Amino acid sequence: MCGIVGYIGSRDASTVLIKGLKRLEYRGYDSAGIALINGELELDYRKGKGKVSNLERALRKDSLIGTLGIGHTRWATHGEPNDINSHPHLSESGNIAVVHNGIIENYNTLKKKLIERGRVFQSQTDTEVIGHLIEEIYLASPDITFEHAIRLALKQIVGTYGLAIINKEFPDTIFIARKGSPLLLGIGEEEMFIASDASPVVEYTNKVVYLDDGEIAIVNRNSYKVKTIDDVPLTKEVHELAISLDAIEKAGYPHFMLKEIFEQPRSIADCMRGRINPENGTVLLGGIEDVMDELVNARRITIAACGTSWHSALVGEYLFEQLAKTPVEVEYASEFRYRDPLIGKGDVLLVISQSGETADTLAAMREARKRGALVLGICNVVGSTIARETDAGVFTHAGPEIGVASTKAFTAQVVVLIMMALELGQRKGILNRKKMKEYIRELSKIPSKVEYILEHNDQEIRKMASLFTYAPNFLYLGRSYNFPVALEGALKLKEISYIHAEGYPAAEMKHGPIALIDEMMPVVVIAATDHTNDKMISNIEEVKARKGRIISIMNDDNPEVKKLSEFCISIPSTSDCFSPVLTVIPLQLLSYYIAVNRGCNVDQPRNLAKSVTVE
Ligand code: G6P
């Protein structure tokens, strides 16, 4: 979703901003723009619909020269994606430029009043009110400083924002503010960087300050001040970024998504590193050690998440119930938040989020905390809002995920859930030492099994993808642990190839989707040999009887599934409860190759955003 960059220093701001916006492209956007204060101390801007590369081309013809500026990638919420609605937005006089992530919920009321007072608006956006409002307050009295005017304006605003603001009267300052939309400050040598996530900043500095909600910062070349919106000065901790530049580049792969799929043997190993001990059969998750007693005594665990993270939550439900005998409810974060949830003291809410910034997940987390529940998180992005606001949690350590369609974050989330369920099962006395050793030994083999799948199935999957490139629909079926994988496989295909796909519990197919099956319909069955094998075979027979084209993800030891299938992807066996980490890999590759064949923009699919920061 929308991205913000800012720069103040001695480099060419335009170059830094464009590079930064390119680093933010993965978040999903439809237009881009920058504003600078140039050598003549004039404020100038370029913006427009389309890619950052269009903006870059425009700047090559008609450059902006200066050493201070702000930039933005917009994902439309209010007003269609077009040149006028792109950010930055200017104030009435053109002296002030604003870039904004988030939504101003009362913008209509504010806009009406501003129009009544004679302000003229150019765009249909909610953002445009901000510049007008700040300017109006600033000009109303000579006693009000610009910073004070910003704080007063923010008090009138209802909604969420990450903001970067420049005013040509202050050619050495960028003003930033945050409420509900992430923003960080990168501290360099006599230069400062502003960004909505760390990716534009890593190549310049690893020192960052994360702004919290209700805070503003006044940023100069050599210094910065952070204060609350009520003017209380704050001393902020300076964090060290752990990610490297390599991790956010493609390393020779044509797409980030493919790189991230192939990174999984390593990302899964990184996720388990130092946490499991196959010799003595133990798991130790330092991040939740202090709350283990509360987890052991919890009546139930509610898991809330969105998108792919919601699918890993569903796997979590099977895991906690089987391995730790703890009842689990899985909720869409957006629904949980708005239905007066029955959660309170003694309950645990576990939120799962790759980005740690998803607005609905964040809201669910805050709601549960308000009601007295213990709030735990599984996050990938260190320093993200969810990671910082949860009572305790476990990082997935999958490394930056840039492709919009989540791959390595999913497998790492499932691995964290496996480790949590095992540790909980052990503490509750449900899993004895012998059983634990068996599980942990098998878990430690998962990275090499993922590697085997990637090495041995890639070619076969490419072939299959070319046969089904133009199929208009797909059905994905799974049972037990592989039902969430069926949902995830269908979601991957939808997201990046725009083919309509549905995931279903295999038995539920009889209650509707079976009506869709004919000789045109590819049906992907996730048929890893497990306790549901016989029933799964019956479901495959039902598809075959209606001439559906069966593609199966199966284990070698399953001749019956093989016989029934038109195409087979054979993968190594594992414990039933670890199976999703393996079965999902061929599905990621299948959707990737189909999307590439269809000429889709794999890493930045239309309309989607990597980090959904609006509710
Ligand atoms: C967006 C992304 C998905 C992701 C979902 C939840 O829709 O495109 O890939 O699964 O948000 O994001 P989170 O960061 O909370 O896991």
Q: What is the pLDDT of residues 33-54, one digit of tens each?
A: 999 998 888 999 999 999 999 9
The residue contributing the CA closest to ligand 1 atom 7 is 307
**Is the predicted pLDDT of residue 1 greater than 80, yes or no?**
no
Beta bridge partners of 31: 49, 74
Give residue 314's pLDDT.
Answer: 98
Give residue 147's pLDDT.
Answer: 97
Query: 105-114, 328-337, 606-615: lowest mean pLDDT where?
Result: 606-615
Taking the centre of ligand 1 as the mean of its atom positions, its distance from the CA of residue 355, in whole angstroms, is 7
Give residue 559's pLDDT.
Answer: 87
Which pair of structure tokens corresponds to residue 523? Answer: 């049906």
Distance CA 374, CA 347 (A): 6
Distance CA 199, CA 383 (A): 13
**Side chain identity at residue 356, one-letter code:** G
Q: Helix 13-23 crosses helix 52-61 at what angle (to 10 degrees)?
A: 160
The reply to whether omega before 472 is within 30° of 0 (cis) is no
Which pair of structure tokens corresponds to residue 215? Answer: 């805070």
Taking the centre of ligand 1 as the mean of its atom positions, its distance from the CA of residue 119, in whole angstroms, is 38
Q: Is residue 577 part of a domain?
A: yes
Nearest atom in ligand 1 to the alpha carbon of residue 608 is 8
Which of 260, 410, 584, 611 best tests ligand 1's pocket when mutated (most atoms within 8 Å of CB)?
611
Taking the centre of ligand 1 as the mean of its atom positions, its distance from the CA of residue 362, in whole angstroms, is 12
The residue contributing the CA closest to ligand 1 atom 2 is 610
Which are the catalytic amino acids? 2, 610
**219, 247, 275: which is the final residue of a domain?**
247
Does 326 lie in the same domain as 203?
Answer: no
Which of 315, 358, 411 best tests ligand 1's pocket when mutated (most atoms within 8 Å of CB)?
358
Does 509 lie in the same domain as 389?
Answer: no
Q: Which residues line ligand 1 (CB under 6 A)?
A: 306-309, 353-355, 358, 361, 404-406, 608-612
Distance CA 194, CA 162 (A): 11
Which pair of structure tokens corresponds to residue 567? Answer: 């195409």
Does 375 lie in the same domain as 272?
Answer: yes
Nearest atom in ligand 1 to the alpha carbon of residue 495 is 8
Does 218 lie in the same domain as 263?
Answer: no
Distance CA 576, CA 153 (A): 56
Tens-digit pLDDT profile for residues 441-498: 999 999 999 999 999 999 999 999 999 999 999 999 999 999 999 999 999 999 999 9
Q: What is the pTM of this model?
A: 0.85
Q: Which of 486, 330, 328 is nearest to 421 (CA)?
A: 328
**414, 444, 474: which is the final residue of a domain?**
444
The residue contributing the CA closest to ligand 1 atom 8 is 610
Nearest atom in ligand 1 to the alpha carbon of residue 306 is 6
The residue contributing the CA closest to ligand 1 atom 15 is 353
Number of CB atoms found within 10 A of residue 143's CB: 6
Give residue 119's pLDDT.
Answer: 95
Give residue 531's pLDDT.
Answer: 86
Q: For residues 291 and 376, is the Cβ–Cβ distance under 8 A?
A: yes
Q: Is residue 86 part of a domain?
A: yes
Does 176 lie in the same domain as 32?
Answer: yes
Which pair of structure tokens corresponds to residue 501? Answer: 């796909």
**Side chain identity at residue 130, one-letter code:** I
Does 440 lie in the same domain as 359?
Answer: yes
Tell me how many domains the chain contains.
3
Q: Can you give 447-505 as a three-state secondary structure string?
A: HHHHHHHHHHHHHHHHHHHHHHCCCCEEEEEECHHHHHHHHHHHHHHHHHHCCEEEEEE
Beta bridge partners of 165: 98, 175
Integer CA distances (angstroms), 563 to 224, 476, 540, 554, in order: 68, 19, 11, 11
Q: Is residue 609 part of a domain?
A: no
Does 350 lie in the same domain as 492?
Answer: no
Query: Strand pairing of 567-571 and 549-555?
Result: parallel
Which pair of structure tokens corresponds to residue 512? Answer: 């509707």
Give residue 26's pLDDT.
Answer: 83
Give residue 321's pLDDT.
Answer: 97
Taking the centre of ligand 1 as the mean of its atom positions, its distance from the CA of residue 396, in whole angstroms, is 15
Q: How confident is the model at residue 360 (pLDDT cuts 50, 70, 90)?
A: very high
Nearest atom in ligand 1 to the alpha carbon of residue 305 is 15
Distance CA 186, CA 190 (A): 11
What CATH number is given to the structural domain containing 168? Answer: 3.60.20.10
Nearest atom in ligand 1 to the alpha carbon of residue 355 is 14
Q: Is residue 611 part of a domain?
A: no
Distance CA 113, CA 133 (A): 10
Q: Which domain holds residue 264?
A: 250-444
Q: Write down how long the chain is.
A: 615
The arithmetic mean of pLDDT across residues 320-343, rounded, is: 94
Give residue 88's pLDDT.
Answer: 98
Distance CA 541, CA 452 (A): 29
**Is the predicted pLDDT of residue 334 greater than 90, yes or no?**
yes
What CATH number is given to the structural domain containing 524? Answer: 3.40.50.10490
Give residue 383's pLDDT.
Answer: 86
Longest dimension (CA), the chain: 83
**247, 265, 292: which is the final residue of a domain?**
247
Nearest atom in ligand 1 to the alpha carbon of residue 358 is 15
Q: What are phi and psi of 348, to 5 degrees?
A: -125, 130
Taking the centre of ligand 1 as the mean of its atom positions, its distance from the CA of residue 62, in whole angstroms, is 37
Q: How confident is the model at residue 614 (pLDDT cuts 50, 70, 90)?
A: confident
Q: How confident is the model at residue 554 (pLDDT cuts 50, 70, 90)?
A: very high
Does 502 lie in the same domain as 597?
Answer: yes
Cα R_g (the chain), whole angstroms: 26
Does 269 lie in the same domain as 129?
Answer: no
The residue contributing the CA closest to ligand 1 atom 1 is 610
Taking the centre of ligand 1 as the mean of its atom positions, its distance from the CA of residue 327, in whole angstroms, is 25
Does 259 lie in the same domain as 206?
Answer: no
Tens-digit pLDDT profile for residues 130-141: 999 999 999 999
**Is the predicted pLDDT of residue 28 greater than 90, yes or no?**
no
Which of 261, 386, 406, 492 best tests ligand 1's pocket when mutated (most atoms within 8 Å of CB)?
406
Query: Strand pairing of 66-74 and 31-38?
Result: antiparallel
Does 236 lie in the same domain as 373?
Answer: no
Q: Helix 446-468 crosses helix 433-444 at what angle (to 10 degrees)?
A: 50
Does 521 lie in the same domain as 563?
Answer: yes
pLDDT averaged over every residue in the chain:
94
Q: Is residue 607 part of a domain?
A: no
Q: Is residue 613 part of a domain?
A: no
Taking the centre of ligand 1 as the mean of its atom positions, its distance from the CA of residue 404, in whole angstroms, is 8
Give residue 249's pLDDT.
Answer: 85
Tens-digit pLDDT profile for residues 285-305: 999 999 999 999 998 999 999
Number of CB atoms found within 10 A of residue 146's CB: 20
Q: For residues 580 and 412, is the Cβ–Cβ distance under 8 A?
A: no
Give residue 176's pLDDT.
Answer: 98
Distance CA 242, CA 16 (A): 21
Number of CB atoms found within 10 A of residue 448's CB: 12
